[in-house]
Amino acid sequence: MRKTVSAAIPFVVVTLLVEGLVRAGWIQAFLVPPPSAVFQTILRDWPELSEAFAKTSAGAILGFLLSSLAGVAIAVFLSSSRRVQDAFYPYAVFFQTVPIIAIAPLLVIWFGYGLRTVVASAFIASIFPVIANTLDGILSTDPALRDLFRLYRASPAATLWKLRFPAALPQILTGLRIAGGLAVIGAIVGEFLGGQGLGSVIDIARTQQRTDKVFAAVLLASVLGLALFGLINIVSRLVLRSWHVSEQS
Amino acid sequence: MNLDRRSFLKTIPAAGLLAGCGKASKIRLALNWKPDPEFGGFYAADFSKHGLDVEILPGGAGTPTVQMIGAGSAEFGIVAADDALVARAQKNDIVALFAVFQTNPMGIMAHASRKLKSIEDVLKGGTLAMQSGLPYARILRKKFAFDRVKVVPSTGGDLTSFLKDENFAQQCFVMDEPLHAKRQGVEVTVFPVSDMGYNPYTTMLAVNGETLRKNPDLAKNMVDAVREGWRTYLDNPASANARMHALNPTVELESFAESAVAQRSLIEANPLGKMTRERWETLAAQLKELGDIPQVPPVEQAFRDL
Amino acid sequence: MTEASIAADRSVALRLSGIRRAFTDLVVIDDLTLDVAAGEFLAILGPSGCGKSTLLRVIAGLISIDSGTLDAEPSGAKLQTAFVFQDANLLPWLTVLENAALPLELTGVGGAERLAIASRVLAEVGLSDAESRYPAQLSGGMRMRVSLARALVTEPRLLLLDEPFAALDEITRFRLEVRLRDLWIERGMTVIFVTHSITEAAFLANRAVVLTRRGCHIRLDRRLALPQVRDNQVRLSAPFADEMKLLLGAMEEED
């Protein structure tokens, strides 16, 4: 409980500060809406915003789950040999650098308008940190531990699943933490293309110069990102609780 | 000079201009899209002849020219009349000086093979890509039933989906996308938005109200230069097209030439760029009915005939 | 009972002939020939960086040799070998019991059976109460005991230890040295123990080899004249001091 209060204090302070500055005219309201207007909009347009929130959540969470599973699988594949890494890792970097807007028409053609494009966009945006962190974790296993496994003639598969993968878990979870937020951003960009959810709310409100609604949607998107982050932290605590230094108090 | 806090931030750009009053000081003109024939007259204008040192800032998808003018990151900008009225209702004091398009160039285009006769026909089936937040789109929704057409977000000028799917219709600028489609082998029917009674001035040169009050000569010189530039461009678009093409090479030069011809009838007026109170009042009434502005404002404050 | 009268099996457990190993241009092991008798407790002494850890890893089969031969008894087949590292090297996500059972898991022994074996061996090193704890909750000494237990679960015929007690405090070290020697006597395995501590070598081994600073050449190869059964009192005896003097002399010699 105390952690939540500590985290909330900066938010409250900044909100009050911005409210004051806008009301006094120091910040123009057409650039930054007063927080009171944003909250009013959230309350007034709640049915529309909550439905949009649900849609974006679905897209982001599905995209994130897919990128987590695929990312770990790809990293395991890449870890199998130096040659495999050299051959395929550069293509993984493609996922990180491609601007989704650039491939937008293609995404829409392949996945249509709606949830599938949103999930695809969230997937593309969030998969690389999972691959990079998982691979790094698997490849960074303590050489002495690897010697131990070699001594008992453990097969490469046994070494992977009984040693390298569990040893990589802290790193994998770090990658997931990063990917969660990126999945939310990716989902929203996908919604600019696919036409639903918070992304659509932002896109339409922007053309109407409804900055209050834009900020309201952005705020809700942040809540989604926070929720995902919190979820991963819970998983991390459960998995690492007994043995990793990061979860010992 | 009025230095209460309210206008403090707005005086900063104006003060900068005052410092350069009389000499050619750097003026920024922010476009709301990439350089193409809809801005031809601006690139054809001879600003230095009118004592102005103008830097044209190309824009793109979502460039917030309305906010840029309000915040002072550009002295002049290109805005549409409906955006201007909504901005003014939010206490963003921007003033329109010159309207390039006398007729709104926006439209809906569909494959000619569908043999559609009106916008209403377009809404009877298939897919329609448009910016649902724009006033014209919401007017359409009020007027017609949308239960049989699938509305998707605007493609931002991209024609990939349109070319692939015969039942895909999309928002366009009448002198732009239809010509591209034709060049790719697809004949289109275009339904101008102005035909359905929604006809705001478009591609207007706008300025910050404070700047205008402090420096009316600057604004007048700017309008003169722009008016001349548009006359030049309408009569002879080639050199301005070449200049714009260098900045926006993804579109072919011949497209520019075709668009320049196609848009002429939407622009010609005497004098070029003129605006009337009537049209502004009509627009204000339409926006009030949509709920985009709380009440009809005194429209003479929204534009100036210089 | 003294060394001389032990009915030790004089057959050779390990024969190294002309072993050579170089890393780029540094020759770490230069033409080493050494026989290790079955059931022997051999201490390999040398200054830091002389290659003794490399030698141990060569014996374990973790590092390959450039030339020479390595023969284990029975001839041809590899001896059942276990290794205790300098760092306890436990898997942090497994309990003490699971860690100890790991070699059995890797060699295909079933779940209940391997845990039972591990439990018995953990009792031998005095860790029965800690079976369900995780390595993060153990002291350095306890972690090393788990490592030791882990090495013993496969009933190895050859036990290799690479300075295992170097990071521990003195009293813990003394305790573990006593325990290790007892385990050696109980199980009758061949032990090769690498260390830079003369006291440790003298206390633990019945044969000590001192290596040169470079190239792993043997400077001294000595059967220690000390009793078979040793407790900490031995450290204060005259024969112990004599052996220490000899070993110290060999260690201090210039190349």
pLDDT of A99 = 85
Q: Decide if pLDDT at C79 tops 80.
A: no
Percent of chain B, pLDDT > 90? Answer: 85
CA diameter of chain C = 55
* Alpha-carbon distance values, A178 to A181, A195, A227 (Å): 6, 25, 13
CA distance C7 to chain A (A): 31
Nearest to A30 among B91, B151, B292 (CB): B91
What residues of chain A lie within 8 A of the CB of B155, using their CB?
105
CA distance C86 to chain A (A): 9
Residue B111 pairs with which residues in a beta bridge? B188
- Determine the Cα angle at A203 with ends A202 and A204, to 5°: 95
The structure's pTM equals 0.83
Q: Do C85 and A150 touch (CB under 8 A)?
A: no
A38: tokens are 């944003």
What residues of chain C lie within 8 A of the CB of A137, using their CB?
none
What residues of chain A lie within 8 A of the CB of C136, using their CB?
242-245, 248
Cβ burial of A27 (10 Å; 0-12, 13-18, 19+) is: middle
Q: H or E element: which one contains C16?
A: strand C12-23
Q: Which residue of chain C is at minimal alpha-carbon distance from A151?
A: C62
Residue B28 near residue B205, CB atoms below 8 Å: no
Cβ burial of C2 (10 Å; 0-12, 13-18, 19+) is: exposed
What residues of chain C lie within 8 A of the CB of A169, using their CB?
93
* Alpha-carbon distance values, A39 to A1, B116, B206, B293, C232 (Å): 24, 45, 32, 20, 77
CA distance A22 to chain B (A): 10
pLDDT, average across residues C168-176: 90
Residue C118 near residue C94, CB atoms below 8 Å: no
Count of helices and strands (H, E) across chain C: 7, 9
Residue B149 near residue B127, CB atoms below 8 Å: yes
Q: Decide if pLDDT at C160 tops 70.
A: yes
In A79-114, where does DSSP find H-type helix?
82-97, 104-111
C-alpha dihedral (A81, A86, A92, A93), degrees to nearest 10: 140
Reported confidence tier of residue A128, pLDDT bands at 50, 70, 90: very high
pLDDT tens-digit profile of C182-207?
999 999 899 999 998 999 999 999 99
Instruction: Round to whole Å and give the CA distance between B188 and B112.
Output: 4
What residues of chain A lie within 8 A of the CB of B91, using their CB?
28-30
Residue ranges in chain B whose pLDDT is less than 70? 1-25
Which of B53, B64, B2 is CA-nearest to residue B27?
B53
What residues of chain A lie within 8 A of the CB of C96, using their CB?
none
What SS3 class is residue B165?
coil
Nearest to B5 among A26, A109, A200 (CB): A26
Angle between helices B253-267 and B216-235 (to 10 degrees): 110
CA distance B192 to chain A (A): 20
Reported confidence tier of residue C230, pLDDT bands at 50, 70, 90: confident
Count of helices and strands (H, E) across chain A: 11, 0
Q: What is the C-alpha radius of gyration for chain A, rounded to an integer number of angstroms?
A: 22
* Alpha-carbon distance values, A244 to A68, A173, C91 (Å): 21, 12, 11
- Determine the Cα angle at B123 with ends B117 and B128, to 5°: 110
What residues of chain A lie within 8 A of the CB of C103, using their CB?
152
Q: Do C and B touch, counting CB pairs below 8 Å (3 needed)? A: no
**b or e along C126-159 (b: 16 or more beta carbons within 10 Å of the residue's beta carbon)?**
ebeebbebbbeebeebbbbbbbbbbbbbbebbbb
pLDDT of C207 = 94
CA distance B143 to chain A (A): 19
Cα of B260 vs its chain's centroid, Å: 15
Q: Do B158 and A105 touch (CB under 8 A)?
A: yes
Which of C123, A63, A200, A223 is CA-nearest to residue B152?
A200
pLDDT tens-digit profile of B72-94?
999 999 999 999 999 999 999 99
Interface of A with C in 72-91 (CB under 8 A): none
Q: Do C105 and A162 touch (CB under 8 A)?
A: yes
Instruction: Round to whole Å and give the CA distance between B15 and B211.
Output: 9
Return the DSSP state at C227: B
Nearest to B153 among A28, A109, A195 (CB): A195
Angle between helices B277-290 and B81-89 (to 10 degrees): 60
- Determine the Cα angle at C93 with ends C92 and C95, to 5°: 90
For testing contact with chain A, the best of C87, C105, C106, C146 (most A CBs within 10 A):
C106
pLDDT tens-digit profile of A152-206?
889 999 999 999 999 999 999 999 999 999 999 999 999 998 889 999 999 999 9
What residues of chain A lie within 8 A of the CB of C161, using their CB?
none
* Alpha-carbon distance values, A247 to A88, A239, A242 (Å): 34, 10, 8
For the ranges A31-45, B176-190, C225-239, which has the lowest average pLDDT? C225-239
Instruction: Round to whole Å and give the CA distance between A50 and A197.
Output: 9
pLDDT tens-digit profile of C173-188?
999 999 999 999 999 8
Which of B50, B105, B112, B107 is CA-nearest to residue B81?
B105
CA distance A105 to chain B (A): 6
Interface of A with C in 109-128 (CB under 8 A): none
pLDDT of B48 = 92
Could you give the ipTM of this predicted complex?
Answer: 0.84
Percent of chain A, pLDDT > 90? Answer: 70
pLDDT of A31 = 87
Q: Do A153 and C105 touch (CB under 8 A)?
A: no
Q: Which residue of chain C is at minimal alpha-carbon distance from A168?
A: C93
CA distance A137 to chain C (A): 15
pLDDT, average across residues C92-118: 92
* Alpha-carbon distance values, B46 to B50, B53, B223, C193 (Å): 7, 10, 11, 91
pLDDT tens-digit profile of C4-57?
332 344 587 888 888 888 888 888 888 888 899 888 999 999 888 888 889 999
Given its phi and psi angles, is residue B115 left (phi above 0), alpha (psi -120 to 50 degrees) or beta?
Answer: left
